Structure 1
Amino acid sequence: MLKLTRAALSRPRFASTLTLSAAAIHTLPKLDYAYDALEPHISGEIMTLHHTKHHQTYVNGLNAAEEAYAKTETAKERIQSQAALKFNGGGHINHSLFWKNLAPTSEGGGKLQDGPLKQAIERDFGSLEELKKQLNSTTAAIQGSGWGWLGYNQTTKKLEVITTSNQDPLLSHTPIIGIDIWEHAFYLQYKNVKPDYLNAIWSVVNFNEAEKRLVEASK
Structure 2
Amino acid sequence: MNPSPAIRKVFQGVASRQQMFRMFDRHAQRPNRWDGDAAPLYTGEWFEIIEAEHDYMFEILPPLWIRGAMFAMREFLTGSVTSVFFALRIDGVIRHFHGYCDLSDKGAVERMRVAIIERESRPVCAMTRDERLEHIWSTTAADYRGYAGDRWPEAARGRRTITLYDGQTGSTLKLLDDLTDDEIAAKLPVQLRHLPSPIAA
Superposed pair shares fold, TM > 0.5: no
Highest RCO, 1 vs 2 (Cα 8 Å, sep ≥ 6):
1
Q: Which has the higher strand share?
A: 2
Q: Please give the TM-score of this superposition, normalised by the length of structure 2.
A: 0.24
Bigger share in helix: 1
**TM-score normalised by the chain length of structure 1:** 0.23
